[in-house]
Structure 1
Amino acid sequence: MPAEPGLPRRGQGRLAEVLAAGRRYLSPARGWVRWSPWALLGFLAAVYAAVSVRMHQRMLTSGYDLGIFEQTVRSYAHGHLPVVELKGPGYIGLGDHFSPIVATLAPFYRLWPSPYVLLLAQALLMAAAVVPLSRWALRALGPAAAWIVGLGYGLSWGIASAVGFDFHEIAFAVPLVSFSLCALGQGRLRAAALWALGLLLVKEDLGLTVAVIGLLIAWRGGRRLGTATALAGVAGTLLEVLVVIPAFNPAGHYPYLDYVSGVSGGFASLVYRWTVGLVAAPDPKSTTLVLLMAPTAFMALRSPLVWAAAPTLLWRFSSDNFLYWETRFQYSAVLMPVVFAALVDGLVRKPVGRRLLRHTLIVVAVVTALLLPPFPLFQAVQPGTWRTPARVAAARQLLARIPDGATVAASNLLVPQLSGRTTVTEFGLPGSRPDPQWIIVDTTAPRDFPVGSEQQARLIEQAMARGYRREGHAGDYLLLHRP
């Protein structure tokens, strides 16, 4: 080791010994380092579960969407097609989205009929995506990279937004995308194709993501396999959107086609949305794009794997629904394994010097830390998360008076407290089952969905005029019953 200015030879020798010991301690050959991906899995699953479970216990989960998915899984658990009363009387969920993969939760729900089954499953599925990412980073870039990439993915804003908003079928897509792209990046093309094909059972739009992965497989040398995968992805989406979903939909068509494609404004509007409008005003689109790449220090752009994010971004940004453009909700969760797989691939396929690698990992860690407080995972360290408001206890008193098997109309945040044991719908939502046996509402400034405060007050008066009587009032909650 060359002499350092001002460092005695004896001190220099000691420093060399310390550095060598550190390298041995962090060597991938050491057992604890090899197990680090599984340690990350356990840590992230615990954090996700804690946040989502506490939100449900504090009555911050909603009928749209936790209630919808519990009704879906509940039907599967009893051997029926997924009937979603929240969408309308007798509504078959397959007429809304094609997500048969959620039926895999049915055996667990049959053993424990609770929304916690869905929330805990989502926590485990989301966390599972860290394993292929951190293992790849460990082998190719070292232990420090494995931990930073793993935590960067696991604490990313897209995952946090999904964990903090009920349960969604996209939880199954996140690990499938991660395993597929990590296999592709390491040259295991058949494994990449098999993992990708599972996305066809998650949601109808993900067939386009399968198609892009197929093209990437073909680009990496597996032409026949990649072409077959791409064709299967496109065919799967077309079959689901044009045949399967319309067959179950009461109106006989795919309900989101005009809504998502932006064709409502005519051909000129469609061209604009699919070109300039994708990245121009309004501002949320640009913000989402920047925040998507920032956690990877924009190094994900060095890899062709980042193209797997294109289909999701296209349908979101071409939509009329501004909620799709934002960083909230579950819509960006499936993009997180894409950009972090692209990060690792970009650092491996186009090698960088040790200094640039170190700086990149520092930026990834810093951006991850800076973006953590505004998003839901930060609730895990907030004292208020672990305190239960008094109004929750008041609500539970009234909820306990509703018998199992009853028909109920409830406020949005009360629906998932009842969806496992009653036939519940959203109070005030058009098309809901008329004249349920029970009505329970939050009387304090409800959210705009499905009705605002004034409209809710009018609906309550109308219900009492039709024969409903007051059965209880606790805190901010009102319970009505029609004999």
Structure 2
Amino acid sequence: MLAYFKAHRTALLITIGYGMVFSLMSLVNHYCLRSYGYDLGIYHHGLYSYAHLKPHIFTLAMAGEPFNHLGVHFSPIVALHAPFYYLFGSYTLLIFQVLFILFGGWGVYLYAKERLDGILPQLILIFFFSMWGIYSALAQDWHANVIGAMLVPWFILFFERGEKLTTIAVFGLILLCKENMAIWMAAIVLGLGLKHLLEKDGKQNWSFTVSLFVISIGYFAVIQYLVMPLFNLKGLSNHLGNYSQLGSGTTSILSSILSDPRQIFLLMFESPDGDAALSRFKTELHFMVLVSGGIAAIYRPHFLIMLAPIYAQKMLSSLPRHWGILFHYSIEFAPIIALAMVEWLQHLKFSKLRVPIAILFISTATFFNWNPIRMNMRVFKASHYHTTLDLKAIYNALEMIPRNASVCASNPLVPHLAERDKIYIFPKVRDAEYIALLKQGRPTWPLEEESFMQKMEEARESASEVIYEDTYLLILKR
């Protein structure tokens, strides 16, 4: 073990350094109440439920009655974190998200180590950790697709080595992360198969490759159309609605894609309604892909196949927040672009250009990732570690709420109050026994500020008791 550490000392130091940056971003945001009910609160509530051997009933739904969250997103991977809930509480998922990102980076590094020499594997590791998609995801809570994306380098590494058992194990874990991971895995397997077909290297086990492809498609179909509806009988959360401009269901959406490829191509660059101001989000994504090394996928086109469902998932959506570089919707680009960069440099005829190219894209990826500094990413600024909120008073006051009580809370308070059977997001009070609201200093979503203040006063008037109130926090007993 010591010999292994010595052999990879530089890479380990790089990993530790970036691990500190990632932790300062994610964990400090959570402590400073810059994490939210959507999505950390949802999944921490699920973690609490699984840790107590209960199903994850989605009480934070904005409409309808609560139902099993597996009917919204099929992410059993959350349950595997449950034992650690008792050690890390509301920080559990965030800690493991950081660890998985570092783990994914190590997979990229080993992939590079087997194909490149000198300092290039270490540079590739830095390149991967410089990707905008990682920072956008860390700045916005916890997401199951981040875990899946960080397992992809290991899947490809083991697949290329011909290690079937470990390939299958990682493949299975990725499928457990989220239902749409199966479609991505089908594209990844297809890309790997075409790579070896075109290179005619004789390394391909076609029965194994085809089996993984068929399992991916079959798994998605079974989970999406048979299993998830059993947990969501009223169809209260249908993500296909994000693609309503293409059709009302899977068949009509696929028909639109196949029958009008010109329109699909235009949607890669334009807003469905032609709004130029919104279309810039798509331009921004394409720009970030290029300056972050996406050009490597052009030289290694099987990686473009792997990115196809990610582009489709983002660009064909009717929601502008999916199109750009914010939130967790870009995390899948990071491992694919990094691995494409490895193979491009590996096959580059002018070997003396490899290090300069790697340094160039590290520089551009880093520069455009940090300029301008985006929301919740200011780890190198004092403002990241300070807030106008009196955090000590807020945390002490929240302890006044009984742990077994049902609670309705402001969006930023939900992750810190989710360790109970029933947690709701204001203004969905339902049968909550207590209401906890941040009066200022944080976004009031899902309400506009004026509406939030009005609803807060209505809640105060109907409450039986004001448990606590100061400049920032109001706790009511109903």
Give the TM-score taking structure 2 as reference length.
Answer: 0.86
Structure 1 stretches of 4+ with a deviation exceeding 4 A read 184-194, 264-273, 375-378
Q: Give the residue type in structure 2 aligned to 1:294.
A: V
| Mapped pair 1:301 → 2:298 | yes
Structure 1 gaps, min length 5: 1-28
Distance 1:255 1:280 in 2: 24
Q: Show the counterpart of 1:118.
A: 93
Structure 1 pair 421–189 and aligned structure 2 pair: CA distance change class (3 A): closer
Contact 2:127 2:358 in 1 (8 A): no
1:60 and 2:56 aligned: no
Bigger CA drift: 86-95 or 368-377? 368-377
* Worse-matched range after superposition: 160-169 or 261-270: 261-270
Contact 1:395 1:475 in 2 (8 A): no
Q: Deviations over 1:365-410 (max 9, x none)?
A: 2113302422468533222223354432342243232121111111
**Could you say what secondary structure the match of 1:55 adopts?**
helix
Per the alignment, residue 279 of structure 1 pairs with 269
Query: RMSD of aligned C-alpha atoms?
Result: 2.7
**Residue 15 of structure 2 aligns with which residue?**
41
The amino acid of 1:45's aligned partner reads G
Max Rg structure: 1
Matches within 5 A, 1:400-411: 400-411=399-410
SS at match of 1:380: coil
Q: Select between 380-389 and 311-320 the one with higher mean Cα deviation.
A: 380-389
Which piece of structure 1 moves more, 457-466 or 51-60? 457-466
Structure 2 residue aligned with 1:412 = 411
Q: Which moved more, 1:314-323 or 1:355-364?
A: 355-364
SS state at 2:143 partner: coil
The structure-2 alpha-carbon separation of the partners of 1:58 and 1:480, relative to structure 1 and needing over 3 Å to count, comes to: same
- How far does residue 71 in structure 1 lie from its aligned partner after superposition? 0.7
Output the CA distance in 1 between the equivalents of 2:9 and 2:23.
21
| Amino acid in the other structure paired with 1:161 | S
Match of 1:16 in 2: none
Equivalent residue of 1:298, what SS?
Answer: helix
**1:102 counterpart = 2:78:** yes
Indicate the residue corresponding to 1:32 in structure 2.
Answer: 6
Q: Alpha-carbon deviations, 1:392-446, whole Å to 9, x = none? A: 2342243232121111111111111211257321111xxx451422112122375
* One-letter amino acid matched to 2:217: V
Asked whether the equivalents of residues 139 and 377 of structure 2 are also in contact (C-alpha less than 8 Å), the reply is: no
| Residue matched to 2:435 | 439
Structure with higher RCO (Cα < 8 A, 6+ apart): 2
Superimposed CA distance per residue, residues 275-330 of structure 1 (whole angstroms, 9 cap, x where no aligned partner): 32123351212321221232226223211224212112212211111111011111
Cα separation, 2, equivalents of 1:177 and 1:375? 26
Deviations 1:339-385 (A, max 9, x none): 1011101222x233133213211211211330242246853322222
From 339, 354, 364, the equivalent of 2:351 is 354
Q: Which amino acid aligns with 1:84?
A: F
**Which ranges in structure 2 are unaligned for 5 or more consecutive residues?**
197-203, 272-278
* 1:195-247 deviations in Å (ceiling 9; x for gaps): 33432211111111111122234322332222111111111111111111111
Contact in 2 for aligned 1:242/1:253 (Cα 8 Å):
no
State which of 146, 160, 164 in structure 1 corresponds to 2:121: 146
Structure 2 matches for 1:129-168, cutoff 5 A? 129-168=104-143
Which residue matches 1:365?
A: 362
The AA in structure 1 aligned to 2:208 is L
- Paired with 1:80 and 1:30, the residues of 2 have a C-alpha distance of 41
Residue 103 of structure 1 and its aligned partner are, at CA, apart by 0.8
Which shows bigger deviation, 122-131 or 457-466? 457-466
Determine the C-alpha separation between the residues in 2 that align with 1:347 and 1:199.
Answer: 27
Q: For 1:226 and 1:419, how far apart are their aligned partners in 2?
A: 42
Matched residue type, 1:107: P
How many residue pairs get matched?
Answer: 449
Identity %: 22
The corresponding residue for 1:13 is: none
Q: What does 1:289-328 correspond to in 2, within 5 Å?
A: 289-296=286-293, 298-303=295-300, 304-328=302-326
Q: 1:139 to 1:388 in 2, by over 3 A?
A: same
What is the CA–CA distance in structure 2 between the aligned matches of 1:273 and 1:405, rounded to whole Å? Answer: 53
- CA-to-partner distance for each residue in 1:66-87, whole Å, 9 max, x for gaps? 1100111111111122122212
Change in CA separation of 1:160 and 1:424 when aligned onto 2, cut-off 3 Å: same
Moved more, 411-420 or 258-267: 258-267
Q: Indicate the residue corresponding to 1:471 in structure 2.
A: 467
CA distance in 2, matches of 1:95, 1:297: 35
Amino acid in structure 2 at the alignment position of 1:142: D
Distance of aligned partners of 1:381 and 1:445 in 2 relative to their CA distance in 1, 3 Å threshold: closer
How many Å apart are 1:194 and its aligned residue? 5.0
| Separation in 2, partners of 1:448, 1:425 | 14
TM-score by length of 1: 0.85
Indicate yes or no: 2:445 matched with 1:455: no
Tell me which moved more, 130-139 or 321-330. Answer: 130-139
Output the CA distance in 2 between the equivalents of 1:310 and 1:171.
18
